[in-house]
Structure formats: C-alpha cells, structure tokens
Amino acid sequence: MTCSVDTTEPSSPATSVIARWAHEQSGHGGRDGGYAWAQQHGLPLTKADVATATAECPICQQQRPTLSPRYGTIPRGDQPATWWQVDYTGPLPSWKGQRFVLTGIDAYTKYRFAYPTHNASAMTTIHGLMESLIHWHGIPHSIASDQGTHFTAKEVGQCVQAHAIRWPYHVLHHPEAAGLIERWNGLLKSQLQCQLGDNTLQGWGKVLQKAVYDLNQHPIYDTVSPIARNHRSRNQGVEVEMAPLTITSSDPLATFLLPVPATVCSAGLEVLVPEGRTLSPGDTTIPLNWKLRLPPGHFGLLLPFSQQAKKGVTVLAGVTDPDYQDEISLLFHNGGKEEYAWNTGDSLGPILVLLCPVIKASGKLQ
C-alpha cells in the first residue's frame, strides 16, 4: 500500500497580505502579472500565492466577465459609433490649467475625439465621455480601455451600467489589443507638434480641435476619411435623396475650412472658423472665404450653438437665399460685456439646408 504525504506548507497570514498587495500594485494583472511584479521587487512569493490573491480579489471577480479572453484582438463592430477605445494622454504642458486629454477612437470607422481635462480621474472620465461621445454619437455598445483607476473606479462602473454599456479592459502585458488607441495618441501628438511648429507642445490647447479635425478628414489607406466613412456607413442600404451642395473658395490664397457634419445624427453641417479671432461686444462680420451654391428650391439657415447664445453671441443674418452665389459672411452680435474668442477650426454653428416654401400673398397694396 502506498501512502502519500502532503508536504505543502500553508501560506502564512503575512504571505497572503503581501500577495494581495503585490496583486493590487501590478494593476490586478492576474497570476502572471502579479508574479512578475513580485519578482521585479524581490518579494518571496510563488505563483500559487499570487493566484490565490487573484481568486480572492473582489475587483477581479467583478471584472472577470468583461476581460477579453483573446489576447491581441480589437472588436471592430459592424456599424459606426458602437465600439470605442479610450485612453488618457499626458501630462502635457499646462494650458489654461489643463494637462491631460481624454482620447477616443471608433474601432469601425476610425473616427476620433479628444477632450482636454485638468486631470485624469473617474469623474473627469464620466464628464468627458458624456460631452465628447454620448451626447454626440449616442450610447455605444462597448468602450474598451486599460485598467487605470480613472476607468476602473466604481463611479465609472455605475455610469456605464446605468447606460447598459459594456466596458472590457485591455489585458496587461498584451498591448496589441490597445494598439488602435495607442496609434491615435501618437498621431495626435505628432499633429499637435506639426501645427505648433515645435516639439514642446506649448499652447497645445489652442490647436487641439483643429488637429482632430484634420486627422478625421485625412483618408485612411488612401481611400476615405474617418468622417466620410462614418456617414457613408450610416446610409448603407438606405435610400437617401441627396441634394447637391457646391462650395468653392472665394479667394484661392485665403484659408477656408469646409463645413462638416459633426455626428452621424447631425441635422446640418458645422460651419468652422477659418482663422482664430475675437468677437468684441457689438456687431462683427466674419468672412468664411467660401461661396455656397444651394440646391434648387432650397435655402440655407445658420443657427448659433446654445453655449454661444448663453453668452450673448447670436447670428443676426443667418439666412442664405436660394439665388445667392457670392461669398458667405456671417454677421454676429455679441450682447455680452466680455470678448468671445474662437480658435481656428472652432464651430460657429450648424447650417441647415431646407426646402424653400412657396409663399403666395393675396390682397392689395395700400
């Protein structure tokens, strides 16, 4: 008869505490990640110790269903604005107290956003996603990120749960799954340096949205741009009556920016500031440096954004008649007491192209 003897010594309470601490310090990296961190810091832990700490970790047990089991995979989705990756880049040189940027990219169309912030915290994440993603593109199916505390915090979990959003995390030590957002961060930094003309990134905030606009307009693999793919995908399989809208430069030497749709659900096109300027109290005319030829039977109507109207900035002459073909200039009124500043690429407001009603008046002139 063979008798087996278990010579395994139970872990001491101190070992369990150290193993839990190593597991947390490794960013909840599981058995292998925690063990690698322990070895790097000279802690006398075995893989079994770290595996036990991982199994007993309430955070890991809660997140386990959302951790991607396939290393190096990036869910793409089958339509725009459903699968996103997000990250923070920074710290950057301080610009109006802001040192970080919450970045995001649509895995399907490669459409990007960038939201400047003062810090990288859970509440900043919630506010940034609301302002830059959900309010513009609707509630997505999934948002993926790394396991930073600004993403794994309880407040973020409660927010995404309330909106029924899945939030998988990139697996540690397998950066391939985060390659999409990492490339976007690198492209954004390079574009900021290019527009600023140096590598210091001083004043990055004043050109941030212009940089995002340029990258969203740049074709991918010499085909179509992210913003074009965003709207093209929206109309696939749907019969949409397209009205021809022609925009041409009024001065070949002047800078002008084409109006663009901001989101897949935009009612019109956003008119962009060709060059940064300040709107003093009173009336100011802003030339756009382009001409607009409307479709037959249509007229143009430009409306101010609510955040501008709240500060007293309104459009005085926002109607473009069907037969008007000269340069477009917008007359704004600043009813506030302070100057209102626009940076290059900022939106002046949406322009709507609407059917012109046929109005018949009866009666006699007096």
CB 294 within 8 A of CB 245: yes
Q: Is residue 361 part of a domain?
A: no
Q: Is residue 78 part of a domain?
A: no
Instruction: Indicate whether 317 and 280 sit together in one domain.
Output: yes
Instruction: Indicate whether 94 and 192 sit together in one domain.
Output: yes
Q: Is residue 146 part of a domain?
A: yes
Instruction: Indicate whether 87 and 191 sit together in one domain.
Output: yes
Instruction: Indicate whether 211 and 102 sit together in one domain.
Output: yes
Digit-by-digit pLDDT tens for the chain (366 residues) are 344 333 344 455 677 878 888 877 776 667 777 787 788 777 788 878 887 887 787 766 655 444 443 444 556 666 788 889 999 998 999 999 999 999 999 988 889 999 999 999 999 999 999 998 888 888 888 898 888 899 999 999 999 888 888 888 876 555 555 578 888 888 899 999 988 988 889 999 999 998 998 888 887 655 677 877 776 554 444 444 455 667 666 666 666 666 766 655 566 777 777 777 787 888 777 777 677 777 777 888 877 777 777 778 777 766 777 777 777 777 777 887 888 887 777 777 778 877 776 665 555 544
- Burial category of 121 from C-beta neighbours within 10 Å (exposed 0-12, middle 13-18, buried 19 and up): middle
Helices (H), 268-326: 306-309
Instruction: Indicate whether 105 and 189 sit together in one domain.
Output: yes
CATH number of domain containing 311: 2.70.40.10
SS3 208: helix
Instruction: Indicate whether 260 and 348 sit together in one domain.
Output: yes
Our count of domains for the chain comes to 3
Beta bridge partners of 115: 102
Per-residue pLDDT at 70: 42
Q: Is residue 142 part of a domain?
A: yes
Among 297, 329, 325, which residue's Cα sits nearest to residue 316? 329
Strands 269-272 and 340-342, sheet pairing: unpaired
* Domain around 49: 13-64
Instruction: Indicate whether 206 and 105 sit together in one domain.
Output: yes
Instruction: Indicate whether 172 and 288 sit together in one domain.
Output: no
Amino acid letter, residue 208: L
Q: Is residue 236 part of a domain?
A: no
Q: Is residue 282 part of a domain?
A: yes
Strands 327-334 and 313-317, sheet pairing: antiparallel
Instruction: Indicate whether 211 and 337 sit together in one domain.
Output: no
Q: Is residue 222 part of a domain?
A: no
Beta bridge partners of 143: 84
Pull the structure tokens for residue 256: 């002008």
Task: Look up tokens 């939106």; give the residue.
Answer: 347
Q: Is residue 224 part of a domain?
A: no
| Domain C-terminal end among 197, 217, 237 | 217
Instruction: Indicate whether 212 and 258 sit together in one domain.
Output: no
| Phi, psi (deg, nearest 5) at residue 351 | -105, 125
Instruction: Indicate whether 95 and 171 sit together in one domain.
Output: yes
Instruction: Indicate whether 329 and 250 sit together in one domain.
Output: yes
Per-residue pLDDT at 71: 41
Distances (CA, A) of 337 to 143, 273, 286, 313, 333: 42, 22, 19, 11, 12
- Burial category of 184 from C-beta neighbours within 10 Å (exposed 0-12, middle 13-18, buried 19 and up): buried
Distances (CA, A) of 212 to 115, 188, 332: 10, 7, 26
List, as one string, the DSSP characters of 210-266: HHHHHHHHSPBTTTB-HHHHHHHHHTTTS--PPPP-EEEES-TTS-----B--STT-
| Domain C-terminal end among 202, 217, 232 | 217
